[in-house]
Amino acid sequence: MLPHYKNKARPQKDMIFGIRAVIESIHAGKNIDRILLRRDMSNDLYKELMQLIKELNVPIQKVPVERLNRITMKNHQGVIAFISPIVYQRIEDIIPTLYEEGRNPFVVVLDNITDVRNFGAIARTCECAGVNAIIIPMKGGAAINADAVKTSAGALLSIPVCREDSISNALKYLAASGLKLVAATEKAEQHYTAVSYNEPIAVVLGSEDVGIDPSHLRICHELVRIPVLGNIESLNVSVAAGVMLYEAVRQTNPSSVNDKL
């Protein structure tokens, strides 16, 4: 297992620092996961960088200089960019292609899931279950870094990941494209096996602590629950993902499940 990197222990190859270096990396086509900026920055290079960030829709976070110094003591000039090991894709490109190929889209939407190892474990299950794409939020989701790739057993390098500025808009797009949105939530009364997964489907999952945003639940077509019989209130979200996704596999392709048993 990889160590849990903190502060300046993060490998230098995972990041770029220095405002000019970050600008040049963006121009060179580097896949940027997110950028940390010193709060009080304001100069011509900063304005150039912000224009590039706006064009590419890269997540940013403005932080005190002390936080940047904890990550690296080298001359970061108020800017640190973290490199993504994957190339993000557009769900608007994936769904039409699946339909053109005669396939029912099978998508997972992750809402409020910030733990890197949970995210990696979910991605691994998605790849094993034949999920076509994972949708994550632009902000407020787990970082896709070496730890996530390791936990996913490399699945994140093969399964399409779509980073959306608005989960609400992504859900509406999926619904308009003919996908049934099935959300796993303890607020539901319906058992997760009671709904049909034999159609274009998007499984929506949230974190154990805050769950799926209520506004996103209202967009979903079906709310389902996984029964919990013990004293702990909820399953780990990666386990819940496995339960939900393999119910879909069982319904859509039962012979494949039996072959593996």
**What does the pLDDT profile of the chain (261 residues) look like in tens digits?**
333 333 333 444 588 999 999 999 888 888 888 899 998 888 888 889 988 888 877 888 899 999 999 998 889 999 999 888 888 999 999 999 999 999 999 999 999 899 999 999 999 999 999 999 999 998 888 888 888 899 999 999 999 999 998 999 999 999 999 999 999 998 899 999 999 999 999 999 998 888 899 999 999 999 999 998 887 777 899 999 999 999 999 999 876 655 554
Q: CATH homologous superfamily for 91-260?
A: SPOUT methyltransferase, trefoil knot domain (3.40.1280.10)
Q: Cα-flanking dihedrals φ and ψ of residue 89, to 5°? A: -120, 170
Q: Minimal CA–CA distance to 110: which of 246, 34, 46, 203?
A: 203
Please name every residue paired with 190 in a beta bridge, in sequence order, or none if there are none: 224
d(CA 165, CA 119): 18
Model confidence, pTM? 0.84
Cα–Cα distances in angstroms (integers) from residue 252 to residues 103, 158, 191, 196, 256, in the given order = 12, 22, 18, 9, 9
One-letter amino acid identity for 96?
P
d(CA 98, CA 30): 28
149-107-238 Cα angle (round to 5): 50
State residue 210's pLDDT score. Answer: 85
State residue 233's pLDDT score. Answer: 74
State residue 258's pLDDT score. Answer: 55
State residue 13's pLDDT score. Answer: 56
Q: CATH homologous superfamily for 11-83?
A: Ribosomal protein L30/S12 (3.30.1330.30)
Q: Cα-flanking dihedrals φ and ψ of residue 152, to 5°? A: -80, 0
State residue 68's pLDDT score. Answer: 92
Burial class of residue 12, CB neighbours in 10 A (0-12, 13-18, 19+): exposed
d(CA 5, CA 114): 16
Same fold, 11-83 and 91-260: no
State residue 185's pLDDT score. Answer: 93
d(CA 108, CA 241): 9
For residue 258, give every residue at least 6 positions away whose Cβ sits within 8 Å of its Cβ, in sequence order, or none: none
Q: Where are the domains of the chain?
A: 11-83, 91-260
- Looking at residue 102, what DSSP letter applies? T
State residue 174's pLDDT score. Answer: 98
φ/ψ bin of 123: left (φ > 0), alpha (ψ from -120 to 50), beta (otherwise): alpha
167-176 and 91-100 helices, crossing angle to 10°:
20
